[in-house]
Amino acid sequence: MTVALLVAPEGVEQVELTEPRRAVLEAGGAASLLSTREGRIQAFHHLDRGDTFAVDAVVADAAPDDYDALILPGGVANPDALRLDPAAVGFVRSFFRGGKPVAAICHAPWTLIEAEVVRGRSLTSWPSLRTDLVNAGARWADEQVVICRDGPSVLVTSRKPDDLPAFNESLVTVFAAHAR
């Protein structure tokens, strides 16, 4: 299983990047960090700077066919920046069109809204996104993890860092079931 983790150059919630990545690696998968620019990304612990991480590929140059699944970590600034990048939005949309599984946590569903892939789907997020998601046609639930199998791809969503153990277990299970 080869998984892409898509983040902006700055603003990802560090634990929402590192813990899902670790879960994929521990399950025997490969994880590739994609961003909108090459170099390193700056992660955060809420509002405080965290570590930096090397980018494996620029999303504009990445081929969705090279990946089995996609993880969208949260952080407020991260998805807000990604949804303004046409290559990032197109990359996300391609996973849904290709029937590949996607996992998103916290504020990451903002990018899903921009990619126009939430209509008719059930999902969760950080609570402040509820109105945005409902207005985009999603069914929102305040649950630790929501797995939506509506449509050709499976969507795994979670609310916050406290939900990471359940989120990671769910995404690894779903991703493994859909691996090539």
Q: What's the angle, vertex CA 135, arms to CA 89 and CA 91, rounded to 5?
A: 10
DSSP secondary structure string for all residues of the chain: -EEEEE--SEEEEHHHHHHHHHHHHHTT-EEEEEESSSSEEEEEETTEEEEEEE-SEEGGG--GGG-SEEEE---SHHHHHHTT-HHHHHHHHHHHHTT--EEEETTTHHHHHHTT--TT-EE---GGGHHHHHHTT-EE--SSEEEE--SSS-EEEE-SGGGHHHHHHHHHHHHHHH--
Among this protein's residues, is 148 annotated catalytic? no
Pick the catalytic residue from 45, 46, 107, 148.
Answer: 107
Q: Is 45 a catalytic residue?
A: no
Token pair 């970590």 is found at 73
Which is catalytic among the residues 45, 46, 106, 148? 106
Residue 158 near residue 171, CB atoms below 8 Å = no
**Positions marked catalytic:** 106-107
